[in-house]
Amino acid sequence: MTDRIDLPRPPQAQGARHLLASARHSLAGLRRLLQETAFRHELAGGAAGLALLLAGRASFPEILGAAVLFLLLVAAEALNTAIEVVVDHLAPGWAEFARDAKDLGSLAVLCLILANVAFVAYTILG
């Protein structure tokens, strides 16, 4: 990957090619996200939560709710990682705006981790 910003923009795909290109971009994002230790920990936590729900005989709607919450966590982690990549590019040294941006992204992820844990706990114990 290059950090150059003066490369020519590739032509935009249309129709079905656009959908395939979007899927490729999403998979590339997932591959990038898998490089993050925090995301791998979240995947393990999600698997543990699913195992607890299955062991606790959670209903299909409860499992579906947990899956939606987990996907929201994945989305927040992806956005947090994107923020970190951009901030690291803009401020390779220390800067207050960089710290604030990273802290706020981290807070968003933490809120969704807590929501996931609370949902699983309520479903199992409630």
Q: For this structure, is 77 an active site residue? A: yes
Q: Which residues contact 44 (CB under 8 A, 6 or more apart)?
A: none
Task: Give me the catalytic one of 42, 77, 84, 96.
Answer: 77
Q: From residue 120, give the alpha-carbon distance in Å to each of 29, 103, 108.
A: 27, 26, 19
Is the alpha carbon torsion for 113, 114, 120, 123 positive or negative? negative
Give the separation between CA 22 and CA 11, rounded to whole angstroms: 14
Catalytic machinery residues: 77
